Structure 1
Amino acid sequence: MSEQLPNLPELYLVDGPLQLPDLAYSFADDWKTEIYTAKEIGDAILSVPGVKLIHDASPNWDSWVARWEKGGHFIEFDITECEFDPENELRPGLSEHWGGSKFKNHCTVDEILFVWRLIQKKCPGVWLHDTDCRMYNLTIFNELFGQQGRDSDGENVTSTGDV
């Protein structure tokens, strides 16, 4: 049986509220966004089993790259750091914050959910975002994309064993 991975949109990790509605777009954010530093996100990504640091944040966070890998499957991350008004109300004194991360993937939906859940354990206001500005929570992402790569009985035909 040949491996069939899901056909997913281009994805990014972004910040948002602690609870994301099922239908959410980044341009219509009428919620309180959680603010994270690049280091907080980097630490959350690196805490996931199987993630290795490829390049550190030297000379800056734009250089940082990490990669989760299992078998021939992977998720690759970068980090964008943005300036932030230190007189902000959300995290006073913070002058830079995490502006998002690439989430380049070649893996199953179950593997994406596994990695994403573990990142959310450290940074619960982190969501997937596509190029149409659609934001996904875990439930809606699984509902929309989780059936790709499954047979008619709902079994994962792309499984690489326990994720």
Structure 2
Amino acid sequence: MLSVSKVKNTAQAASYYNSPDQYYDKDSGGVTSRWGGKGAEILGLEGEVGSDDFNRLLEGRISPEVQLGKISDGGVIEHVPAWDLTFSAPKSLSIIALVGGDSRLAEAHIKASQEAMRYIEKEYALTRVSNNGKAEYTKVDNLVYA
């Protein structure tokens, strides 16, 4: 199952995803969050996700010269920090994998999620651009995800 939600607040998101209880990694069988997507490659992000890079990207700071977002009428940059795509395995699979101790199922879920993200990046990723004050959507194939 895929749940999609818009991340609206950078500070809350940084706190939630980087929480000390490691909510996102605690049931992963030792697998930590890793960078993915062509955008991550372009930015030189590889391996384990570090909180500094993660927080910087939530803020839309691609580099010291590049800040994502649109400038509002008041001159403030408005930026959507992220979209949260959560891939959930069926409860029966989770029970067998975690309670039954079958790590192959957890590994298969991780691999399936990675493949799904590659497919989403290739076929469905869009960005909104302004053209003479009118918002248009343009296909991209260079997501950054963790």
TM-score by length of 2: 0.30
Q: Which has the higher strand share?
A: 1
Q: Which has the higher helix share?
A: 2
Larger radius of gyration: 2
